[in-house]
Amino acid sequence: MLLPIDENEEVILDIRYASRNNFVGRPIYDRGVALLRIEAHAAFHRALARARAIGLGFRVFDAFRPLEAQSTLWDAISDSSFVADPALGGTHPRGIAIDLTLFDRATGRDLPMGTDFDAMTPLSAHAALNGLSPDAIRNRALLLGIMTATGWEPYEPEWWHYNLPARENFPAMAAADVPDGPLLVRSDGGIA
């Protein structure tokens, strides 16, 4: 079962694959929804409580991604450092991954992270130091601390990507596997 993340003052849904503002350059989803399995949804809310306690919120870029969407992204880049091979399932199609950043609730501004979401460069790695400002390094460490303290694992090449452990316990899903799913397959290979 997948549950939606509700947008509120501590969560901004900026689902990039529902817009042209992504590396494919066209919408992959018809609607900007963020879905997570029950276990991931609970872990997200634990992380949100920690962020909220220090005056921060989350901007969510992506969560559950059906296999059809994973295939579209894979076909666009075929780089397993940044997009999982859909034949292997990945973590987004399992409903246990989330792409996000932090924003300051007082100002509404995202904290600087040194690169944009989906910047396919070595500077996007958690371990990157050279070329990043001290603020970006600190903010990434803050995000890492919040997420790992609440049960998430980081994906090393992408500062924005976190997933639950034990991916083998969660089968990958196609759009048709989601009852009353908000994501349907379009004839052009996108998700409607």
Closest among 39, 5, 32, 7 to 17, alpha carbons compared: 32
Q: Looking at the annotation, which residues are catalytic?
A: 158
Mean pLDDT in the chain?
89
Domains of the chain: 2-177 (3.30.1380.10)
Alpha helices of 82-133 — where are they, by DSSP H? Answer: none
Alpha helices of the chain — where are they, by DSSP H? Answer: 38-53, 67-77, 134-149
**pLDDT tens, position by position, 154-169:** 999 999 999 999 989 9
Average pLDDT over residues 125-144: 96
Size of the chain in residues: 192
**pLDDT tens, position by position, 23-62:** 888 999 888 999 999 999 999 999 999 999 999 999 999 9
Residue 161 is labelled as binding a ligand: yes
Q: Is 32 exposed, middle or buried (0-12, 13-18, 19+ CB in 10 A)?
A: middle
User: Please, what sign has the CA dihedral across residues 136, 42, 154, 87?
Assistant: negative
Residue 92 is labelled as binding a ligand: yes
